[in-house]
């Protein structure tokens, strides 16, 4: 028993993908929040592709593609900018003409931007391709895909209590107030 807390459950979550405020540290891919500013884009480009000759912009909104194109050309005059409208289009474009950097929206129709990134990282010729993710997600829209959750406690832990613990824990990680209800902070046993 450690300081009277032997009954506290341990929750382990193994994350397969994350985006939002945690993922920059997990994936080392810059993430820009819409509306994207010149300063934020220039800063990200300086880090991943300081002098791009070819840039692929993937976004399902024509206005956003045009805005990003103007910013890229302002950063790298003479850069050849080309476009993808969805995840499938992005993968086709990249296989046909490997860019120096990809500006990739996360929310796309069909294959999502995170799925495109995952596919790029699987292929040897695109595994190190510089990618800058762009998202309209804010902190409340944070998405975390969990592949495995393990709960453990010395004694049995009722399912309802375990779920409240998990909900409170994830809310704490995401910086939100818990909606779990009940007295989830009190161990049962």
pLDDT score, position 161: 72
pTM over 0.75: no
pLDDT for 157 equals 63
Report pLDDT for 149.
57
- Regarding predicted confidence, which is higher, 185 or 116? 116
Closest of 38, 99, 106 to residue 73, by C-alpha: 38
Question: pLDDT tens-digit profile of 46-97?
Answer: 999 999 999 999 999 999 999 999 999 999 999 999 999 999 999 999 999 9
Specify the pLDDT at position 43. 95
Question: What number does CATH give the domain 23-139?
Answer: 3.40.50.2300
Domain spans, the chain: 1-18+142-189, 23-139
* pLDDT 10s digits, 10-58: 554 444 444 443 343 334 788 888 889 999 999 999 999 999 999 999 9
Query: Are the C-beta atoms of 180 and 168 separated by less than 8 Å?
Result: yes
Residues 171, 99: Cα–Cα separation, whole Å: 39
Question: HEC states along the chain?
Answer: CCCCCCCCCEEEEEEEEEECCCHHHHHCCCEEECCCCHHHHHHHHHHHCCCCCEEEEECCCHHHHHHHHHHHHHHCCCCEEEEECCHHHHHHHHHHCCCCEEEEECCCCCCCHHHHHHHHHHCCCCCCCCEEEEECCCHHHCEEEEEEEEEECCCCCCHHHHHHHHHHHHHHHHCCCCCCCCCCCCCCC
Length of the chain: 189
At residue 154, the pLDDT reads 57
- Whether the CB-CB separation of 76 and 67 falls below 8 Å is answered with no
């Amino acid at each position: 028993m450690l300081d009277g807390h032997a009954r506290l459950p341990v929750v382990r979550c193994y994350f397969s993908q994350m985006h939002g405020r945690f993922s920059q540290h997990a994936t080392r891919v810059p993430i820009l929040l819409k509306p994207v500013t010149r300063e934020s884009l220039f800063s990200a480009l300086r880090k991943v592709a300081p002098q791009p000759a070819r840039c692929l912009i993937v976004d399902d909104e024509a206005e956003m593609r045009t805005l990003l194109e103007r910013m890229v050309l302002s950063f790298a005059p003479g850069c050849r900018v080309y476009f993808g409208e969805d995840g499938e289009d992005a993968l086709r474009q990249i296989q046909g003409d490997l860019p120096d950097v990809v500006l990739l929206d996360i929310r796309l129709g069909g294959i999502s931007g995170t799925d495109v990134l995952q596919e790029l990282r699987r292929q040897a010729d695109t595994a190190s391709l510089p990618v800058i993710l762009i998202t309209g997600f804010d902190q409340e829209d944070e998405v975390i895909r969990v592949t495995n959750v393990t709960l453990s406690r010395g004694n049995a832990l009722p399912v309802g209590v375990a779920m409240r613990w998990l909900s409170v824990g994830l809310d704490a990680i995401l910086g939100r107030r818990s909606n779990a209800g009940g007295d989830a902070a009190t161990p049962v046993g």
